[in-house]
Amino acid sequence: MRGLKSFVKRALVKTGSLELAARFRVPRAAILMYHSVRADPKLGADWIGPGITHSTRVFAHQMELVGRRFSPVTLDHILLFLIAQKQLPRRAVAITFDDGYLDNLEEAATVLNRLGIPAAFYLTTGLIGQADAPWFCRVRHAFMKTKRNEWPSSGHQRNWELVAPASRDAALSAAYDLCSRLTKKDQQQAVYAIELELGVEPVLPESRLMMNWDEIRTLRRSGHIVGSHTLTHPNTAHVSQEDALRAEIFESKRQLESYLREPVVHFSYPHPALRPQWNAKTLAMTREAGYATAVTTNPGPIRAHSNPLLLTRINAGSTEDEFLWNLERTFAET
């Protein structure tokens, strides 16, 4: 069944049926979502999971397809389209990266600059230049390294079984849920507690995972957009304290603006765990902070009436078929 489904998808993409269908529809854009791009994704996989990593080879191929078969546009262009000041080219595609991994500069930007494709990079400012890994990478690392058969979680007041792969995945997911409600020191303490409870030394990654300010300026000088991805990467819809939430949304913007000496108007909602990833309060706050656009991880195309502060994004997928299917479907859907 799966084979047949992918055959049909491939046939629809290869024959151009979806492209033909899209030709007669209203203008729309697709925003592609990436995180990490590494020459060898297996290296460092204890920290950054395969679900958010593309190999440089696959990423380069995907960008070549974007350059050949679609029209690359910037987030600024999409904003102008949404406020009816600029038209979109046919099959407009914007590229985005979340978190601020060093490989974004070393691997992804090298490909993008060679092909002349612009992108937006959303940075978690509390992680900029840090030797330490983001909290969700540390939690993943602890679960990858633990020798224990059980996680006695003080946060949940219960033990999680770790032997069967499905139970271990459920425990990891519960750990993400626990930390994604927290910010700053509370979040750090929760991560330390998890490492302690799993019997894993809190170590630094073998090499720095995140970009520093000089590297971000280099990205910016190449013409890419820099946006905010909060201070400490919580799920903002689940941060209960108002002042902590304000700091995540306002302070990250202020830091970027002060280091880059220019306005920063693009925001990306972190989505490490839990649903939803935004609510009426976070929406009002992104507006109040002065962001002009905000992207989510919800799927779907950008249309003229899309809310600029709740923009949908497309999963890039890992194979060529999946990548083209996800994009073509975006332009073909009614």
Q: Write down the least CB distance from residue 207 to Zn ion, Å.
A: 20
How big is the site for Zn ion, counted in residues (CB under 5 A)? 3
Which residue in the shown chain puts its C-beta closest to Zn ion?
98
d(CA 88, CA 30): 11
Q: Looking at beta carbons only, is 71 or 130 nearer to Zn ion?
A: 130
Contacting range for Zn ion; rule: CB under 5 A; set: 17-25, 94-102, 160-168, 307-315? 94-102
Q: Looking at beta carbons only, is 70 or 135 nearer to Zn ion?
A: 135
Q: How many C-beta atoms surround the C-beta of residue 320 within 10 A?
A: 14
Q: Looking at beta carbons only, is 98 or 197 nearer to Zn ion?
A: 98
Q: Looking at beta carbons only, is 232 or 330 nearer to Zn ion?
A: 232
d(CA 163, CA 158): 16
Q: Looking at beta carbons only, is 98 or 103 nearer to Zn ion?
A: 98
Print the binding letters for residues 268-287 with Zn ion: x by CB under 5 A, - otherwise: --x-----------------
Q: What does the block give as tokens for 320?
A: 């060529």
Cα distances from 301 to residues 32, 144, 191, 276, 326, in angstroms, run 10, 36, 36, 19, 10
Q: Looking at beta carbons only, is 227 or 270 nearer to Zn ion?
A: 270
d(CA 271, CA 278): 9
Q: Write down the least CB distance from residue 70 to Zn ion, Å.
A: 24
Contacting range for Zn ion; rule: CB under 5 A; set: 3-11, 91-99, 113-121, 171-179? 91-99
Q: Write down the least CB distance from residue 22 to Zn ion, Å.
A: 30
Q: Does 132 bind Zn ion (CB under 5 A)?
A: no
Q: Looking at beta carbons only, is 270 or 308 nearer to Zn ion?
A: 270
Print the binding letters for residues 232-271 with Zn ion: x by CB under 5 A, - otherwise: --------------------------------------x-
CA dihedral 21, 24, 26, 30 (to 10 degrees): 40
Q: Does 99 bind Zn ion (CB under 5 A)?
A: yes
d(CA 81, CA 219): 24
Q: Which of 74, 98, 105, 236 binds Zn ion (CB under 5 A)?
A: 98
Q: Write down the least CB distance from residue 5 to Zn ion, Å.
A: 30
Rule CB under 5 A: which residues touch Zn ion? 98-99, 270
